[in-house]
Amino acid sequence: MPELNTRWDIFCTVVDNFGDIGVTWRLARQLVAEHGAAVRLWVDDLRAFERLCPQIDTHAAQQVQQGVEVRHWATQWQPVEAADVVIAAFACQLPSAYMDAMAERAKPPLWMNLDYLSAEEWVVGCHGLPSVKYKHVQKFFFFPGFRTGTGGLLREQGLLQRRQAFQQDPAAQRTFLQGLGVDRASGAQLISLFAYENAGLASWLDALASDSTATHLLVPEGRILGDVEQWLGVDGLAAGAVHIRDALTVQVLPFVRQDQYDLLLWSCDFNAVRGEDSFVRAQWAARPMLWHIYQQEEDVHLDKLEAFLELYLEGLSAPAREALGGLWRAWNAGEDMTDHWQSTRKHWPQLQKHAQAWCLEQASQADLAAALVRFYVNWI
């Protein structure tokens, strides 16, 4: 892909949690590092950003981080020139003065809405279609996705090679984990847990505690901690806490920088993830995983869950498919996990191979940043 000397504006409103900023920050860095683009990332909530990138100055209206010009998107909009490519992430509404600036350009910008990730089939038909117009400026739908014909997934150059090297290097893993205060108990499987509140957690922890295999569960600080506290019967869990119940060691980790979170996923034998960005990163980790999908009104998220399962479970034996599908559905319904976990464990080697095959299959598609650039090149 040729290097482009283009200016890009990416707009991000933080609706909640970390997915909105997680995705846009990752994309912005990649456009700069791999495509020579000049990127301004407009973010309305710099405090959420700070969790992923602690170097952020939450009071600065403008700053450069890893080559990206980070702009605080303040309520009081200060007029700026519009860029060559404008991305509104997750249907966020651009400032009206900025839309006027787009329309005033001699050549209007390429304006895209970067949508939420979904494995549903209809996404293929909608990806790249024109959406609304503002004056004469046309907006386009850009859909990430798993299927051919979508915009693909965010994946940095060389990511899989870096991941593989790390996973083949026990010393590097040990050093990384020790930096987080984790001393992996010998013979214990490592599991990371990043999830929303979940009524099914207690049954899963029961199953892990009574398992014949020891488990070391790593829980970054976040929304699931309340359920962990309840199960342990303790209050005020914070980073550094370690509690042992039979075969299960529970350890609370600090919320780490975004690039460190990859290393955590790569270090674990099994990753429970959520939302959008951590979900994709767990797929690049190529280890068996469990997804807590972001809940939406009228349960539309359940269609998305089924659409993903339909793709992901393909190629597994019928019993393995049933076991893993059962585990994912129970987790997302907050139901009892005991039997599902036990049946999933029976298919471990198959699930490990499958996670690697899925990762390679997904990596055979163009990554999302490259697909955006290609879309732009075809458009000009």
Q: Are strands 7-12 and 85-89 parallel, antiparallel or unpaired?
A: parallel
| Residue 17 CB, nearest approach to ligand TRH (Å) | 3
Q: Give the separation between CA 21 and CA 42, rounded to whole angstroms.
A: 10
Start-to-end Cα distance in the chain: 15
CB 328 within 8 A of CB 195: no
Size of residue set near ligand TRH by CB under 6 A:
21
Residue 20 falls in the annotated catalytic set: yes
Q: Give the separation between CA 14 and CA 21, rounded to whole angstroms.
A: 6
Q: Give the separation between CA 103 and CA 99, rounded to whole angstroms.
A: 6
Q: Give the separation between CA 236 and CA 168, rounded to whole angstroms.
A: 37
Task: Using the minimum distance from each CB to ligand TRH, give the nearer residue, 19 or 200.
Answer: 19
Identify residues 210-229 at the interface with ligand TRH (CB under 6 A). 220
| Residue 22 CB, nearest approach to ligand TRH (Å) | 2
Task: Name 197's Cβ contacts closer than 8 Å, sequence gap at least 6.
Answer: 223, 224, 226, 227
| CA-atom Rg of the chain in angstroms | 21
| Residue 162 CB, nearest approach to ligand TRH (Å) | 17
11-50 mask for ligand TRH (x: CB under 6 A)? ----xxxxxx-x----------------------------
| Residue 279 CB, nearest approach to ligand TRH (Å) | 6
Residue tagged active-site, from 9, 44, 262, 276: 276
Q: Are strands 68-72 and 62-65 parallel, antiparallel or unpaired?
A: antiparallel
Task: Using the minimum distance from each CB to ligand TRH, give the nearer residue, 163 or 347.
Answer: 163
Among 73, 261, 308, 331, binds ligand TRH (CB under 6 A): 261
Give 135: exposed, middle or buried? Use CB within 10 Å, 0-12, 13-18, 19+.
exposed
Task: Using the minimum distance from each CB to ligand TRH, give the nearer residue, 312 or 376.
Answer: 312
Interacting stretch for ligand TRH, rule CB under 6 A, among 57-65, 101-109, 147-155, 271-279? 271-279
- Output the 3-class SS for 119-169: CCCHHHHHCCCEEEEECCEEEEEECCCCCCCCCCCCCCCCHHHHHHHHHCC
268 in contact with ligand TRH (CB under 6 A): no
Residue 45 falls in the annotated catalytic set: no
Among 194, 266, 312, 358, binds ligand TRH (CB under 6 A): 194
Among 134, 255, 348, 375, binds ligand TRH (CB under 6 A): 255
Task: Using the minimum distance from each CB to ligand TRH, give the nearer residue, 134 or 294.
Answer: 294
Interface contacts to ligand TRH, rule CB under 6 A: 15-20, 22, 52, 194, 220, 255-256, 258, 261, 274-279, 294
Residues identified as active-site: 20, 276
